[in-house]
Chains A and B, each alone.
Chain A
Amino acid sequence: MADEALFLLLHNELVSGVYKSAEQGEVENGRCITKLENMGFRVGQGLIERFTKDTARFKDELDIMKFICKDFWTTVFKKQIDNLRTNHQGIYVLQDNKFRLLTQMSAGKQYLEHASKYLAFTCGLIRGGLSNLGIKSIVTAEVSSMPACKFQVMIQKS
């Protein structure tokens, strides 16, 4: 099933729709990113439930992050995370060198300023997935050269 195209197109329409109905300005930009991130959060929560129905219990935080990088990413984006780094104190950096949602956009620095809009949903996706696995986190993304991007996950210890 060619779902990938459908989701890609829906995601792009989502982003452009959210921005079209907002006005210009920094505040509005932040609000749009938040909206997209919240949508991703909802989806991430639901998705991880479907996903981990039959899997074994996770041993620890690192195990969960490895799951996100391997199985979760492969199912959602058809490839694994290329690089996972951690400082073993609750900060993880997931690097994807060919992020699926950006490959069609540019291969370098063009449109770099718009990249963050297309990453907000995925940040929410990760945050939602982790949240339903019992981990509170803050997820941000940065892009220096498309289509490579890095997602930074900061675990919140409560």
Chain B
Amino acid sequence: MSRPAPRKPEYHKINKDLFVLTYGALVAQLCKDYEKDEDVNTYLDKMGYGIGTRLVEDFLARSCVGRCHSYSEITDIIAQVAFKMYLGITPSVTCNNSSRNEFSLILDKNPLVEFVEELPAGRSSLCYCNLLCGIIRGALEMVHLAADVTFLQDRLRGDSVTEIGITFLKKLDEKKYRRKK
């Protein structure tokens, strides 16, 4: 692979590494502090929630997306715009049920686990990337959408893909949005 300009692309990648490495250090510290995997998962989710509530403003300011008219549109935007903007990946979206309020994001590549070979011993139910679930949940709540976001499958835990499930819980506000039939 040839390198056109000497340093710039490198710096970009290293900047991403900063976030990934910091996240890794955080998870390592949490594993030291909490014995149970559920506690670490909950903590990561709560932290992600705090981040998501603030990140959504940054996202809306940068992306200038318009009003969404359906849950699937929202999920598409999360996958194609938000993930691309912050993590540089575009997960694929699938809809899991006929009432169109359960979706899955399938992550082909996950930059957060770039430096993780495997989960530490005795931590088999650790959701390493649970921060992402919290972020999505927090962001959605700031735009008045309640959702349940969890990891349905995780490559680190032995599954074949990494899959995040988003279940929208409440109807969209009728005043602002038209419900997609």
Q: Do A and B come from one complex?
A: yes
Q: Is A21 an interface residue (CB 8 A)?
A: yes
Least CB distance, B29 to chain A, in whole angstroms:
6
Q: Is B18 an interface residue (CB 8 A)?
A: yes
Which of B10, B14, B54, B85 meets A9, CB within 8 Å?
B54
Contacts of A47 in B (CB 8 A): 14, 17-18, 21
Chain A residue, CB-CB nearest to B51: A9
Q: Is B177 an interface residue (CB 8 A)?
A: no
In terms of DSSP, what is the predominant structure of the interface of chain B? helix
Which of A21, A35, A42 meets B21, CB within 8 Å?
A42
**Range for the number of chain A residues in contact with chain B:** 20 to 34
Looking at A11-19, A57-65, A80-88, A139-147, the stretch in contact with chain B turns out to be A11-19
Say whether A75 contacts B21, CB under 8 Å: no
Contacts of B11 in A (CB 8 A): 74-75
Q: Is B28 an interface residue (CB 8 A)?
A: yes
Within 8 A of A (CB), among B40-62: 43, 47, 50-51, 54-55, 58, 62
Q: Which has the most chain B C-beta neighbours within 10 Å: A5, A6, A14, A16?
A: A6
Q: Is A90 an interface residue (CB 8 A)?
A: no
Contacts of A13 in B (CB 8 A): 47, 50-51
Say whether A3 contacts B14, CB under 8 Å: no
Contact with A along B61-82 (1 / 0, CB 8 A): 0100000000000000000000
Contacts of A11 in B (CB 8 A): 22
Say whether A7 contacts B85, CB under 8 Å: no
Say whether A3 contacts B16, CB under 8 Å: yes
Say whether B55 contacts A6, CB under 8 Å: yes
Least CB distance, A18 to chain B, in whole angstroms:
8
Report Cα–Cα, A51/B18, bound state, in Å. Answer: 11
A-B CB contact pairs (8 Å), 10 listed: A2-B85, A3-B86, A7-B22, A9-B51, A10-B19, A10-B23, A11-B22, A13-B51, A14-B47, A35-B29
B-to-A contact residues, CB < 8 Å = 10-19, 21-26, 28-29, 33, 43, 47, 50-51, 54-55, 58, 62, 85-88, 115, 131
